[in-house]
Amino acid sequence: MGRSVSYPSGALVAFRLLETSEGDDHDWEYECLVDRVRYDATNAFPSLREYGGWRGREDRILLRNAYADCGVSTYCGLAAIWLAQRDDPAYWEADYASPRVARARHWLAQVEPRFIAMFGELTLIGRFSNGEAVFERRKAA
């Protein structure tokens, strides 16, 4: 079965290519992307704070607020920059005392257009039966 870049289930996802050519330093390009996501996302969404963590083995959390994690995942030069409702024990314990799920969904719906416009270069068109994904470049606004 084919494989594509990972991202958390139910996440808002903006796709882009890592701009590297043969001989480039892929680690440096990745760290530049991480720095850009941190800078742009915290300026656009001030409630996000720096956070270091992982969702599974492939999805790196860079930022977090009371409702969502913002992170990046890469595979073969394709990057997924994502926003997903938090899914950690502290979030669910806080949700028990003061429900957050509806507020989290509302916040994600509110920021989705701006998030996709900021970070998205590619649009996921669909997947083949073997799991491989097909993308097209987004049209400039």
Number of domains in the chain: 1
Question: To 10 degrees, what angle do helices 101-119 and 26-44 make?
Answer: 120
**Residues facing 73 on adjacent strands:** 80
Specify the pTM.
0.90
- Domain presence at residue 43: yes
Token digits for 135?
A: 């993308």
List the chain pLDDT tens, one digit each, 141 residues.
Answer: 457 889 999 999 999 998 776 667 888 899 999 999 999 999 999 999 999 999 999 999 999 999 999 999 999 889 999 999 999 888 888 888 888 899 999 999 999 999 999 999 999 999 888 878 889 998 765
What's the domain range around 46?
12-124
**At 2, which amino acid appears?**
G
Handedness of CA 85, 31, 43, 80 (dihedral sign): negative
Q: What is d(CA 133, CA 56) in angstroms, rounded to the nearest whole number?
A: 21
- Domain presence at residue 95: yes
Burial of 70 (0-12, 13-18, 19+ CB in 10 A): buried
